[in-house]
Amino acid sequence: MGVRRLAALSAGIGVTVALAGAATAAAVMNARPGTAEPSGKPLPAGTAEVVRGDLVDTTSVDGKLTYAGERRVYAGAAGTVTAVAKKGTTVARGRPLLKIDRKPLVLMYGTLPLYRPLRLGVSDGPDVRQLERNLKALGYGDDMTVDEEFTSATRQAVLDWQEDRGLPETGTVDAAQVVFLPGPVRVSGADVEVGDPAAPGRRALSVTSTRRTVHVDLDTDDQSMARKGAGVTIELPGGAQVKGKISEVGTVAVASGGDGQPGGGGGGATIDVEISLASAKKVGRLDQAPVTVAMESERVKNVLSVPVDALLALAEGGFGVEVVDGSSTRVVAVKTGAYGGGRVEVSGDGLAEGMKVGVPAR
């Protein structure tokens, strides 16, 4: 059976291979997948195993390393901005996001916004529980029960907290003093500077969570690749890789400009894809850094595969693999299928999982 060794140039659905070497044995006519003949050649320089399993092909897309959950913070009081947290600063519970007339707007944790002043006599509600939980976490209210009732013990805890924070000791908590957000935040931008006038409802800061994420504006033509929960591989600046998982997939397409950026005209459309990281240790403090995301584009289940460079071009046409059996070899004609991850699906009579096939020296 006449053969020539193939060198793989790339892996993927449109894989390209090049013929390498001019030596050809006697041609075998009308070879069919699975037929085998002794190759009459010395043992190959290297071997690889025929593997059974899923064959996965990936497509690389551009992404951006950032932080999850951006949202806005508004001033709750009128006056002059006397301090504001710097961009990139992490603010935790009990710490000020900014100060107006030297009075702090303090971060507390919770999902319910402060939609009413909380004071003695207010009706019971989950917002009261949320405040009491934070006061306890900050070390106030030894005699206070965390529930939905604003009691005299709650008021005393508020007074003690206000005294320590330099706030007017009123026993009432309102939007001029506290903003509730789900957890610690990272300041992503400031809309005010020291000396600017502030007013209730005026945007003051943009913040995010401290959770790292990768954002992808995915072309709608590729949206089938974006499956919530699917694993991906992210290549960071410098070449390091980290695993990730698709956590959110947008349902609304956004027009992109001719330069590929959201907004504008002349381009296609994209959907937002958010990817959570398996480990944030490798990414450090990088923000808005460009990354490359390898997303699964095709999966063929439970097939036999070999490295692409194990393929031989048969002189009579088609492909084969050189099976190594002890000190001898034989060429088995195969039918190729899907490509992915540097491997190719193969099938043919006499081909089985665990066999060794020849590959070029690595």
Range of the domain at 273: 59-67+211-296
Strands (E), 177-240: 178-181, 185-190, 197-198, 203-209, 212-219, 231-235
pLDDT in tens, 155-214: 999 999 999 999 999 999 999 999 999 999 999 999 999 999 999 999 999 999 999 899
Residues 32 and 121 in one domain: no
- How far, CA to CA in Å, does 186 sit from each of 167, 180, 198? 24, 14, 21
pLDDT category of residue 41 using cuts at 50, 70 and 90: low
| Co-location of 85 and 63 in the same domain | no
Q: Do 80 and 205 belong together in one domain?
A: yes
In this structure, are 150 and 188 located in the same domain?
Answer: yes
Among 150, 179, 209, the domain-final residue is 209
Buried b (16+ CB within 10 A) or exposed e, 117-139: ebeeeeeebebbbbbbbbbeebe
Instruction: Specify whether 7 is located in the same domain as 17.
Output: yes
- Do the beta carbons of residue 60 and residue 296 sit within 8 Å? no
283/361 Cα distance (integer angstroms): 35
Token pair recorded at residue 4: 């020539």
Query: How do strand 51-67 and strand 212-219 relate by DSSP bridges?
Result: antiparallel
Do 53 and 84 share a domain, yes or no?
Answer: no
Residue 239 neighbours by CB under 8 Å, 6+ apart: none
How far is C-alpha 141 from the chain's CA centre?
Answer: 41
Does 100 share its domain with 223?
no
Q: What is the CATH number of the domain that holds 336?
A: 2.40.420
The CATH number covering residue 255 comes to: 2.40.30.170
Radius of gyration of the chain (CA): 32
Q: Do 47 and 162 belong together in one domain?
A: no
> What pLDDT, on the 0 to 100 scale, is given for residue 57?
82
pLDDT exceeds cutoff 60 at 1: no
The domain boundary, picked from 209, 238, 267, lies at 209
Q: What DSSP line would sit under 107-149, residue for residue?
A: EEE-SS---S-B-TTPPP-HHHHHHHHHHHHTT--TT---SS-
pLDDT at 27 over 70: no
Average pLDDT over residues 273-285: 84
More confident residue, 13 or 290: 290
Q: Measuring CA to CA, which residue among 334, 327, 330, 84 is closest to residue 205? A: 84
Contact 84, 193 (CB under 8 A): yes
What CATH code is carried by the domain that includes residue 144? 1.10.101.10
Is residue 74 within 8 Å of 176, Cβ to Cβ? no
State how many domains the chain has. Answer: 3
Same domain for 276 and 173: no
Are 168 and 105 in the same domain? Answer: yes
Last residue of a domain, one of 164, 181, 209: 209
Lowest mean pLDDT across 66-80, 170-184, 222-236, 302-316: 222-236
What distance in Å separates the CA atoms of residue 300 and residue 336, rounded to the nearest whole number?
13
Q: What's the whole-number mean pLDDT along residues 320-340? A: 90
pLDDT, mean of residues 280-304: 85
Query: H/E element holding 155?
Result: helix 152-165
**pLDDT confidence band for 132 (50 / 70 / 90):** very high
Same domain, yes or no, for 22 and 118?
no
**Distance (Å, rounded) from C-alpha 295 to C-alpha 274?**
12
DSSP state of 309: G
Residues 177, 76, single domain; the answer is yes
